[in-house]
Structure 1
Amino acid sequence: MGISAATLLSADNKLLDTLQTELGKRPASLRSATFTPGTPDTDGDEIDRLLSLVDARPSAGTFIAYNVLPERIWASSYTTQTYDGTSDDLLTAGLGKTGLGSATAPTYASAAAPTASELRRNAIYNNYRALVDANKAAGGYGTLYGPNIDISGNDTLGEGKIAGTEAIAYSSDASGKRKITLMVQVPNSFDKTKPCIVTATSSGSRGVYGAIGTAGEWGLKHGCAVAYSDKGSGNGMHDLAADTVNLIDGTVATASAAGTTAHFAADISKSELDAFNLTFPNRIAYKHAHSRQNPEKDWGKYTLDAVGFAFYVLNEKYGTADASGKKPRIIRPGNTLVIASSASNGAGAALIAAEQDKLGLIDGVAVSEPQIQPKDMSGVSIKQGTGTVATLGKPLLDYFTYANLYQPCAALASDATGSPGAAFIAGYATNRCTALKAKGLLNGTTTQAQADEALQKLHTYGWTSASDVFHASHHALATPSIVVTYLNTYGRFSVTDNVCGFSFATTVGTAGATLGNVTATSPLVQAGIFASGNGVPPTGGINLVYNDASGGAKRDVLAVSPSTGLADGALDGALCARSLVTGSDPVTGSKLTGTLLAQSERVQKGIAEVQVKGALDGKPAIIVSGRSDTLIPVNHASRAYYGASQKADDSKSRLRYYEVTNAQHFDSFIDNAALPGYDTRLVPLHVYFNQAMDLMYAHLKNGAALPASQVVRTTPRSGTAGAASAISASNVPAIASTPANGDAITYSSGTVSVPD
């Protein structure tokens, strides 16, 4: 017997009613929709995502939306743990405010075989301190922010431990090669009648706890579930010589024993591994660099997956099974406030997720210092004061490979006098100037003239003068390794490719003839890397190695370039990296050919895959960034994205941009004993991350207006380098509800105007 059109229409409407209750908006009819379903190895489209998040089943003449484990979650990896908030907790792993503020990391009963709980504790300790200045109370920890500071900014929470439940699982394709760690923390203060979720996608290449001190802390304190993701790039290490890897809880196994349960293992055969180990012994593969997945292209999806996982975890915890034995969903996008958040790479992931969010899972965005790459800057310009920015909106690997050439020399410029960390590059900075001059990339006839010229090149290429004194520390601690990591990830290269002659390995650290040579990695490093690692070198004694150095493989900062005969910090490798981005030799200008051309095409394809439109479609969003950001310059990221988004959304735009003077990317460098001078020059951007979250929360919950885009003018602490006076609220004034005329950031006729 046929089914009448009226019956079909009635059933369709009842299904749409259920989905409207679920989402808070009515989707188009699924009867006429054309959608792409997922397979074990490929993702479907947004309709497929909806159908995989909600198990809508007919019941008593209508439909009920039941809870269902999201697709790609490996049920075998799913675990939950409850923390009492005393002996252990969600935010501090039982360490409390005092333990997180200690300069001494927690110890292991056996460093050779830490337990999973010990690794978790140390991962929380290290990741919290990596993003927040917890070095000294004088810097704001424990007074302006920290576990003890309540949501009103007062010191009332004691040690700040937070009881609750933590759920963790892998999300992966069938092969296990594209693997993401997802985690949800649910504080006991979560109110199922007023549900909220905050995303905390990891920053940098960090593991799943990588945003614990930023979005994690804010969300937990506000009684929200926190949805974490390592975004497929998080802190996975494969010691190729020992053939050991880490599991989801950080414990160690051989790659063969771990199989597909390994957090990361290099995708090479046994014969390839043996051959590589013979020619390049004691090398390390890292997940972000060597997974061959270019995970950045899916960072938004992985953030949305974390939100979907959070809804599952919440409904499992608070739902009640009906007669069918299944749990109807009571916490769903339609009744839950969701803020996409995080810092740095995690902030970029939040913005990308908001752009891709067609189901309406995300209500608003609040992020700091996003690593975000606009696709189209045509018709957009940036002015600071009366000056027009010459270079803007370049892809990350473009401006990083440029910085990698000139930063060491620029650190010797007159305007960079007194740079924190200058001693770290003293061994190769002058030689870098000399080598750049010899290759015709600088014209100055003295080291000083060359250095001043190099700094001016960086200004012309998008760095503000506020970054001048920070180039030395950034090249010493970040720039070269990020270049090599992103060359590999964008080109989807194998660890065996040794792109531009670079690899990762432990190097000899003691003075003598073997200083900087490759050596075996201690098993203790693998045992603790889940907790101590950041996903890129330098970490745990593992450094960037230039295989092609004169005399043999050497740590890059000690390497002699074959073409110059100088210990110039592996300039030859830096020039190769630059060529793969531009497609031409940076010295001769000639187009690449052969292997280099093929590698360049792969890199450029990967770069194109991660660039975004800036189309938030009117979703409310806040970006805060520091004007002194030397790692992710505002002219290439925050300012550029703000302009691209204004262009894309036009009158629909509800994006706000707050630029903070005397603030930059690495709050953890402030009050760091190895970098005196950060403390007297900079204030913590984290203060403004918290304000941005507060503003977005009030906007979404109560309809409070978002302040207009503006420059926030701060006052650095006084005192001597390394001993700055204590920070106070007067150093970090609040984002103004109405900015003064001289502080307003505006967009008009394609121009982003930022006051000096």
Structure 2
Amino acid sequence: MKRIMICALIGATGLGLSGCNDSNGSSNDNPPATNPIPGFIQGDIQHTQYDGVTDDLLTAGMGATGLGSPTAPTFSDALNPSPSELRRLAIYNNYRALVDTSAGGGYGEFFGPSVGIGTEGMIPGHEYIAFMAVPGSDVPVTVMAQIPDSFDQSSPCMITAPSSGSRGVYGAIGTAGEWGLKKGCAVVYTDKGSGTGSHNLKSNTAQRIDGTLTTGDEPVQFRADLTDTERGDFSALWPDRLAWKHAHSKANPEADWGQHVLQSIEFGFWALNKQFGSDSNAITPLNTLVIASSVSNGGGSSVRAAEQDINGLIDGVAVSEPNVNPVMDTSFTIVQGTSTAISEHSRSLLEYTTALAVYQGCANQAPVIRDNAPLNALNAEQVRENICNSLFNKGLVTGADTDARATDAQRILNQDFGIQPEQNLLAPVHFASKVAQSISMTYANAYGRAGVEDRVCGLSFAATDSAGTVTPFTDAGEAAAFAVSNGIPPTAGVDIIYDDAEGQPTALPASVSPSSSQIDYGLDALLCLHSLALGRDAITGDALTGADATLASAIAEGIEDIRATGNLRGKPAVFVTGRADAILPINHASRPYYGLNQRVEGTASQLRYYEVLNAHHLDILNQFAGIGDRYVPLHHYYFQALDLVWERLTNGTELPPSQVVRTTPRGDIATPLAESNLPEIAAQPADGDLILLVDSELRIPE
């Protein structure tokens, strides 16, 4: 049956990889040599070979030492960086954004390009990169295949590496990319229709696939859907604004993330057969081990690909902290230890993230948070108090003073929105980094398929000065944006602007809300986004009206389009997630997905869920005192997940049962991590560590 389905895929997509000419699935002794470019590819395919000495696939010639260095590579001409310079800096920044490369944090010991190789980890091979599109859309999506010279044609393997977050095509280079390339597998990447594409509405400047800039009529990563007249009229009213691909493509790219990954696999097979294929030695889905992988949004994309994989392209799944929005299944609750059961799990990313954007700034002032949370000083105390005052005046928190109001804000997040208390001490640094604020704006636009011209909730993107005033994007900043952007402003010198702020358009952190005349982090705008996510007025609870109701309805439809089904089609799969995840709260992502999967697949399920104590979403933060001494790198367990799935697929080794993994923090950031801090995922965990769905309860040990 699998062979018949694969043959149907080959015929339908034009892969032309092997003979499939009889209905019983037997192979053709002389498969055709055709290897047509997949029909979803747009324009040219760029092919580059790297020697592994001057440049390479994994480290862009920097090696493990260069990636670990705090000194970033530079451009020979800051205004006109070359494609290779942009690629090198993009790989440097994307690698270090997800992996803690500080001394003692595990880099070079438990993970890193040199680990297991004994060299600088520079990997020679071939890189193919192109634009593609999904059916029904003309928005360019970047796809890339890397084929290391160590690829074994007699035992072919492929790893998917969709980008984490909204990053560009190199966004998973240090996660799935590193593991796969060191394993000798082809690695296929995609930016998932988000990526670094920015469009300067004043100059009409956009980025080519290699990050260089152009104002010409040629293929680019993204330009807003505006005529020259419309663009000029908008710029006259709102000068120096930028459109960003994820937020403003009007495509809701997340709805197609699974298809982006499946297409990247097809592109990978095309590249492999261009490199190695012949009449007698075609590389096909039938003879290739394929693991769908990556972290965060990339992990969620690979999960969706596995759910949608009707043709059996994917053999297994190994993901870390996946951004999954599971279909709500009210037939089970989530219970951690003896805590109160959580029945309202599986809230959407936009609902809980806009709640964090609204309440977290105030919660940062709660005494238990203020006095214990690392890096909380990055949030100005006066602004925290102003947010609390504004929330109180709107009837959204209670309390006689700021301490009481902040404590109530924290209660609302933990009790009303089901956010784990284990994330509370990390949430302040995420708020200071504008994580919830940026996700709230970008995803509200994306889910509602809004354009830059709509300025949802009075918000836009622009460069600013130190006071938060809108300024033109500098030439040097724009030239480097491809290499330094994470795809979701604030990034690369571009901030979120509250156009409707009192006084003048101002960067959100410094903006004054019209309803309060206080610098309260543009709370009016954040409440507007929260209202759109809730589908009702966040203050009064009343139904939205007019354009707000229309947009909220479109957003709700967009959210339904991205819901995960929980059906992994019986594929061996591993999720690893940190209990202290302060970006994707586990009661709305990994935990309920596991419960849903158990309901949907039952005894056929091969999904295992490993919840790691003292681990969180962004390992990069572990380099800071107060964080690195309390938390361990989840990245280490992500690589274990890949190892476990590999062993399952190649040797038939059983996956360990779902469990809580009890790590031991260092206690002092000056003390290097040791094996004693990072216990292995247990093949036979203690009964008290097992994660189980029992009747109507998903039981998570303390």
Residues 451 and 311 of structure 1: is their aligned pair in 2 closer, same or farther, counting only changes over 3 Å? same
Q: Is the 8 A contact 1:85 1:161 kept in 2?
A: yes
Distance 1:63 1:278 in 2: 64
How far residue 380 of structure 1 moved from its aligned partner, in angstroms, is 2.1
Matched, 1:451 2:429: no
Of residues 452, 471, 481, the one that matches 2:438 is 481
C-alpha contact 1:647 1:750 (8 A) present in aligned 2: no
SS of residue paired to 1:528: helix
Distance 1:671 1:481 in 2: 23
In the other structure, the counterpart of 2:40 is: 72
Matched, 1:507 2:433: no
Query: What's the counterpart of residue 33 of structure 1?
Result: none
1:68 deviation in Å?
A: 2.1
| Structure 2 match to 1:3 | none
The amino acid across from 1:442 in the alignment is: V
> Counterparts of 2:697 and 2:12 in 1: how far apart (Å)?
38
Aligned to 2:122: 161
Name 1:574's counterpart in structure 2.
526
Q: Is the 8 A contact 2:332 2:698 kept in 1?
A: yes
Is the CA contact 1:55–1:68 (under 8 Å) kept in the aligned structure 2?
Answer: no
Moved more, 164-173 or 564-573: 164-173
Give yes or no for contact 1:663–1:683 (8 Å, CA) kept in 2: yes
Q: CA deviation at 1:168?
A: 0.7
Instruction: Single out whichever of 293-302 and 165-174 deviates more from structure 2.
Output: 165-174
Q: Taking structure 1 as reference, are residues 191 and 412 closer, same or farther at Cα in structure 2, changes over 3 Å only?
A: same
Structure 2 unmatched ranges of 5 or more: none
User: Over residues 409-466 of structure 1, what are the superposed CA-to-partner deviations in whole Å (9 max), with x where a residue is unaligned?
Assistant: 1112233123223122224211111111111001111111111111111111121111
1:262-281 matches, within 5 Å, as 262-281=220-239
User: How many Å separate the matches in 2 of 1:657 and 1:146?
Assistant: 24
- 1:100 pairs, out of 67, 70, 91, with 67
Aligned mates of 1:411, 1:494 — CA distance in 2: 33
Contact 1:53–1:308 (8 Å) recurs in 2: no
Match of 1:683 among 622, 625, 632: 632
Is it true that 1:740 corresponds to 2:696 in the alignment? no
1:313 to 252, 259, 271: 271
Q: How does 1:249-264 map to 2 (within 5 A)?
A: 249-254=210-215, 257-259=216-218, 261-264=219-222
Whole-angstrom distance in 1 between the partners of 2:44 and 2:553: 37
350, 366, 374: which one aligns with 1:397? 350
SS in 2 for 1:463: coil
Q: Do 1:382 and 1:752's aligned partners in 2 also have CA atoms closer than 8 Å?
A: yes
Q: Which residue of 2 aligns with 1:431?
A: 386
1:137 alignment partner, SS class: coil
Q: What CA distance in whole angstroms lies between the structure 2 residues aligned with 1:446 and 1:173?
A: 53
SS, match of residue 209 in structure 1: coil
CA distance in 1, matches of 2:134, 2:5: 28
In the alignment, which residue of structure 2 is the partner of 1:754? 700
Higher Rg of the two aligned structures? 1
Residue deviations 1:194-239, cap 9 Å, x none? 0000000000000000000000000001000001111111111111
Q: Is 1:148–2:114 an aligned residue pair? A: yes
In the alignment, which of 318, 327, 331 is matched to residue 366 of structure 1? 318
Q: Tell whether the 8 Å contact from 2:579 to 2:586 is kept in structure 1 after alignment.
A: yes
- CA-CA distance at 1:58 after TM superposition: 7.1
What SS does the aligned partner of 1:81 have? strand
- Give the superposed CA RMSD: 1.9
Query: Quick check: 1:90–1:165 contact (8 Å CA) kept in 2?
Result: yes
User: Letter of the aligned partner of 1:521 in structure 2?
Assistant: F
Q: Aligned with 2:690: secondary structure?
A: coil
Offset from partner CA, 1:245-273 (integer Å, 9 cap, x none):
0000111101xx143x0111111111110
Shift of 1:63: 7.4
CA distance in 2, matches of 1:521, 1:29: 50
SS in structure 1 of the partner of residue 514 of structure 2: coil
Q: What SS does the aligned partner of 2:412 have?
A: helix
Distance in 1 (alpha carbons) for counterparts of 2:281 and 2:237: 56
Residues 58 and 64, structure 1, Cα contact 8 Å, conserved in 2: no
Alpha-carbon offset, residue 160 of structure 1:
0.9
2:591 to 633, 639, 642: 639
Letter of the structure 2 residue corresponding to residue 374 of structure 1: P
CA change 1:717–1:62 in 2 (3 A) is closer
Q: Which of 490, 495, 498 matches 1:543? A: 495
> Structure 1 residues 63, 395: closer, same or farther in 2, change over 3 A?
farther
Matches within 5 A, 1:225-264: 225-254=186-215, 257-259=216-218, 261-264=219-222
Residue in structure 2 matched with residue 121 of structure 1 by the alignment: 88
**In 2, Cα distance between equivalents of 1:469 and 1:363:** 38
Indicate conservation of the 8 Å contact 1:374/1:640, yes or no: yes
Aligned-partner Cα distance in 2 for 1:28–1:413: 57
Q: 2:30–2:280: 8 Å Cα contact kept in structure 1? A: no
Aligned counterpart in structure 1 of residue 396 of structure 2, from 423, 441, 451 = 441
Amino acid at match of 1:639: R
Deviations 1:584-612 (Å, cap 9, x if unpaired)?
A: 11111111111111111111111111112
TM-score normalised by the chain length of structure 1: 0.89
> SS of the residue aligned with 1:618?
coil
Tell me the residue number matched to 1:606. 558
Amino acid at match of 2:184: G
Once structures 1 and 2 are overlaid, which stretch shifts more, 359-368 or 609-618? 609-618
2:247 pairs with 1:289? yes
Determine the C-alpha separation between the residues in 1 that align with 2:282 and 2:18: 13
SS at match of 1:670: helix
Cα–Cα, structure 1 residues 57 and 671, in superposed 2: closer, same or farther, change >3 Å? Answer: closer
* Contact preservation (8 Å) 1:288, 1:485: yes
Residue 77 of structure 1 and its aligned partner are, at CA, apart by: 2.0
CA–CA distance in structure 1, aligned partners of residues 136 and 237 of structure 2: 29
Letter of the aligned partner of 2:635 in structure 1?
H
- Verify: 1:298 aligned to 2:256, yes or no: yes
For the residue of structure 2 that corresponds to 1:576, the secondary structure is helix
User: Are 1:410 and 1:471, in contact at CA under 8 Å, matched by a contact in 2?
Assistant: no
Name which of 428, 434, 457 aligns with 1:472.
428
The 3-state SS of whatever aligns with 1:78 is: strand
Aligned to 1:26: 4
For residues 112 and 418 of structure 1, the distance between their equivalents in structure 2, rounded to whole angstroms, comes to 44
Q: In structure 1, how many angstroms separate the alpha carbons of the residues matched to 2:560 and 2:418?
A: 20
For residues 61 and 696 of structure 1, do their structure 2 counterparts lie closer, same or farther at Cα, with a shift above 3 Å needed? closer
Question: Which residue of the partner structure matches residue 698 of structure 1?
Answer: 647
Give 1:698 deviation, angstroms. Answer: 0.5
Match of 1:407 in 2: 360
Which sits farther off after the overlay, 49-58 or 368-377? 49-58
Unaligned runs of 5+ in 1: 1-19, 31-45, 151-155, 321-326, 510-514
**Displacement after TM superposition at 1:401 (Å):** 1.0
Change (3 A) 1:28 1:683: closer
